[in-house]
Chain A
Amino acid sequence: MIKLEQVEKSFGSNAVLRGVDLEIPRGTSMVIIGGSGTGKSVLLKCVLGLVTPDSGRILVDGKEAAKADQDAFLARFGMLFQGAALFDSLPVWQNVSFRLLRGALKRPRAEAKEIAIEKLRRVGLTPDVAERLPAELSGGMQKRVGLARAIAADPEIIFFDEPTTGLDPIMAGVINDLIREIVTEMGATAMTITHDMSSVRAIADNVAMLHGGKIRWTGPVAQLDSSGDPYVQQFITGSPDGPIEAVR
């Protein structure tokens, strides 16, 4: 279980997170929605320890993340970055099986490559992509390679930062199904950021909306349409009129 208590983070005078409280039970899928620039990516990075919060606590299975042994802590995580963040000096398959080629989870090269090709297949990429360099792929393909890398070592906790942005609707559907499958079949805990309402409904057990540096609303996905919160309502209908300003 992941639990955030009053997490705050500012960059200079820009107060991004102003006291975030959130709970993600083990084996469930939480989707974070919210306008762009509201700090969703920063929130994920706080949990991973890539960004140090100014105050507040982040607990993973009851233990404070900041005090954990970082290697052991991160070994349980998989993360898909918003910009894919592939290593451009390595071919695609070595990106996917990066964890399996070195360190504690090291396997023989041939086996690591096989796993990479299998994970690429799961995100809808053919084996011939494996030998290419990331720079030779389209944005959507890079995103899917990033996804394959995130799930390569079968992590217990997976974060997806905008997994379907830049994908066509069919591929987005494939990725939505994959994320759902990872949670239900592998029992992973997932936290996904997305703007895509069809993704929200396909992936989420619970939804949380980040606005103004706080969690504006959170609840089961089934209650999303009847939340009664004007901010949530405006977001899911995509209306320019409402409490959320169009100029931010």
Chain B
Amino acid sequence: MILLSPLAALGRAALGFLAMVGRLSIYFGQTVSHMVRPPFYGREFLVALGNIGWLSLPVVGLTAVFTGGALALQIYAGGSRFDVQAVVPQIVALGVVRELGPVMVGLMIAARVTSSIAAEIATMKVTEQIDALVTLSTHPMKYLTVPRVLAALITVPLLVGIGDILGIMGGYAVSVHSLGFNPGTYLKNTIEFIEPLDIVSSLAKGAAFGVIATLMGCYHGMNSGRGAQGVGRATKSSVEAAAVLTLAANFLLTGIFFTA
């Protein structure tokens, strides 16, 4: 019995994970079905656009610039061992657009947006505001979830696009100012190297990560336990789930786009 109990624990965890995936899929399906049926809450959508898109710009921009700069330094240092430091612009472009741009933005959105959505909705839940919405003939999913998910679907790809550009600019600044690259050649190499598929994959990842981040915030908020502890737990779970799912989805999407 004692020998079997780790197995049982593993089984329980696996079953728990599958149940979770099932619940999330159902929640996602419900969100989509509410998205395509009226009423649509335009004001809430505009507020969400501002909160998720506009207000995330500073943190996304800074993250991208520093990541691009660090990447250029690393590739230069690593490349010089094989005497291929000239590939810095190409590798920075590839690394930022295909992987680091979307992933860093996705994780920053999980930190910034998922946590605040989860805490807000969980607080609404424990203070009976969700119940109040229902009694006022307003479906919480239409009023709270749909505007946020739609806003992220639209703005996070834009944020990723901006993050890609700023990441490349970070690499450019470091390369030109401290690694002695020629500005014109650097930009030319970057632009000639990036292909349309790179950009498409980057933006598609952004859309997927945006949906994951907002959906996790809403789902964990709506299913919050009672009291302050419930809110804390919901917030923590939402960020964990969003971060892990973002990285898992990134792996899947990279596989889909780049193994042909």
Contacts and interface: CB of A to CB of B under 8 A. Distances in A.
Interface string A74-88: 110111011101111
With a 10 A CB-CB cut-off, give which of B41, B124, B133, B137 has the most chain A CB atoms. Answer: B137
B191 interface: no
A85 B137 contact: no
A79 B137 contact: no
With a 10 A CB-CB cut-off, give which of A75, A77, A103, A149 has the most chain B CB atoms. Answer: A103
Contacts of A104: 137
Contacts of B137: 71, 74-75, 99, 103-104
Contacts of B132: 79, 81, 85-87
Given A71-B137, A102-B138, A45 B131 contact: yes
Given A102-B39, A103-B39, A74 B127 contact: no
Contact of B131 (A78, A81, A88, A98): A81
Contacts of A75: 137
Contacts of A77: 135
Interface in B106-137: 120, 124, 127-129, 131-137
A43 to B, nearest CB: 14
A232 interface: no
A50 B131 CA distance: 7
Interface in B14-48: 39, 41
A97 to B, nearest CB: 10
A105 to B, nearest CB: 8
B129 A103 contact: no
Give the secondary structure class of A's interface: mixed
B184 to A, nearest CB: 50
A31 interface: no
With a 10 A CB-CB cut-off, give which of B39, B128, B134, B136 has the most chain A CB atoms. Answer: B136
A85 B138 contact: no
A102 B136 CA distance: 10
A88 B134 CA distance: 16
A203 B34 CA distance: 41
Contacts of B131: 45, 48, 50, 81, 85
B138 A103 contact: yes
A75 B137 CA distance: 6
A74 B133 CA distance: 11
A85 B39 contact: no
A81 B138 CA distance: 16
Contacts of B124: 87
Nearest to B42: A102
A29 B149 CA distance: 43
A68 to B, nearest CB: 13
Interface of B: 39, 41, 120, 124, 127-129, 131-138
21 contacts: A48-B135, A49-B134, A50-B135, A74-B134, A74-B135, A75-B137, A79-B135, A81-B131, A82-B128, A83-B127, A85-B127, A85-B131, A87-B124, A87-B132, A87-B133, A98-B138, A99-B136, A99-B137, A103-B138, A104-B137, A149-B136
In order of increasing CB-CB distance, the 8 nearest A-B pairs are A85-B128, A85-B132, A79-B135, A81-B128, A50-B131, A74-B137, A85-B129, A98-B136
